[in-house]
Structure 1
Amino acid sequence: MIKDSWFTVQNIDDETYAISEYGHWEKVHSFLLIGERKAVLIDTGLGIDSIRRVTDKLTSLPIEVITTHVHVDHIGGHREFDKIYVHEGDKDWLINGIQGLSIEQIRNDIKRDITIPTPLTFNPNTYQPFQGVPSGLLKDQDTVDLGNRKLIIYHTPGHSPGHLSIYDTTNGYLFTGDLLYDKTPIYAFYPSTSPVDLIDSLERIANIKNVNLIFGSHNTLGLNPAILEEVKHAVQFLKEKQLVTFGTGIHKFKGFSIQF
Structure 2
Amino acid sequence: MTLIIDPWFTVTELDPKTFAISEYGHWEKVHSFLLLGEEKAALIDTGLGIDHIKRITDQITELPIIVLTTHVHADHIGSHGEFDTLYVHEDDADWLMNGIKGLSLDQIRKGMARDITLPVPKSFNPFTYHPFQGIPDNVLVDGDTILLGKRDLTIYHTPGHSPGHISIFDQSTGYLFTGDLLYADTPIYAFYPSTNPVDLVNSLERVAQIKDITKIYGGHNQLGLEPIILFDVMDAVHYIRKHNLDRHGTGIHSFRSFSVQF
Q: Where on the TM-score scale, by shorter chain, does this alignment land: which range?
A: over 0.9
Q: Does 1:103 align with 2:111?
A: no
Misfit runs of 4+, over 6 Å: none
Report deviation, 1:178. Answer: 0.1
Matched residue SS, 1:89: coil
Q: Which amino acid aligns with 1:77?
A: S
Query: Residue 43 of structure 1 is aligned with which of 35, 42, 45?
Result: 45
1:126, 1:233 → 2: CA distance? Answer: 43
Among all aligned residue pairs of Structure 1 and Structure 2, give the percentage whose two residues are the same amino acid. Answer: 65
Deviates more, 1:141-150 or 1:199-208: 141-150
Q: Which residue of 1 aligns with 2:147?
A: 145
Q: Which residue of 2 aligns with 1:27?
A: 29
Q: Which residue of 1 aligns with 2:121?
A: 119
2:228, 2:110 → 1: CA distance? Answer: 37
Report deviation, 1:146. Answer: 0.8
Q: Which residue of 1 aligns with 2:11?
A: 9
Q: Which amino acid aligns with 1:207?
A: Q
Matched residue SS, 2:42: strand
Q: Which residue of 2 aligns with 1:87?
A: 89
Q: Which amino acid aligns with 2:46?
A: T
Q: Which residue of 2 aligns with 1:241?
A: 243
Matched residue SS, 2:92: helix
Structure 1, unpaired ranges of 5+: none
Kept in 1: contact 2:102–2:192 (CA 8 A): no
2:83, 2:244 → 1: CA distance? Answer: 43
Query: How many matched pairs?
Result: 260
Q: Which residue of 2 aligns with 1:74?
A: 76
1:193, 1:162 → 2: CA distance? Answer: 10
Kept in 1: contact 2:103–2:192 (CA 8 A): no
1:101, 1:63 → 2: CA distance? Answer: 29
1:102, 1:188 → 2: CA distance? Answer: 16
- C-alpha distance 187-100 of structure 1, shift in aligned 2 (>3 A): closer
1:190-229 aligned within 5 A: 190-229=192-231
Report deviation, 1:115. Answer: 0.3
2:106, 2:198 → 1: CA distance? Answer: 30
1:136-173 CA-partner distances (Å, limit 9, x unpaired): 10110100111111100000000000000000010000
Report deviation, 1:64. Answer: 0.5
Matched residue SS, 1:239: helix
1:12, 1:32 → 2: CA distance? Answer: 10
Q: Which residue of 2 aligns with 1:65?
A: 67
1:198-227 CA-partner distances (Å, limit 9, x unpaired): 000000000000000000000111100000
Report deviation, 1:99. Answer: 2.2
Q: Which amino acid aligns with 1:43?
A: D
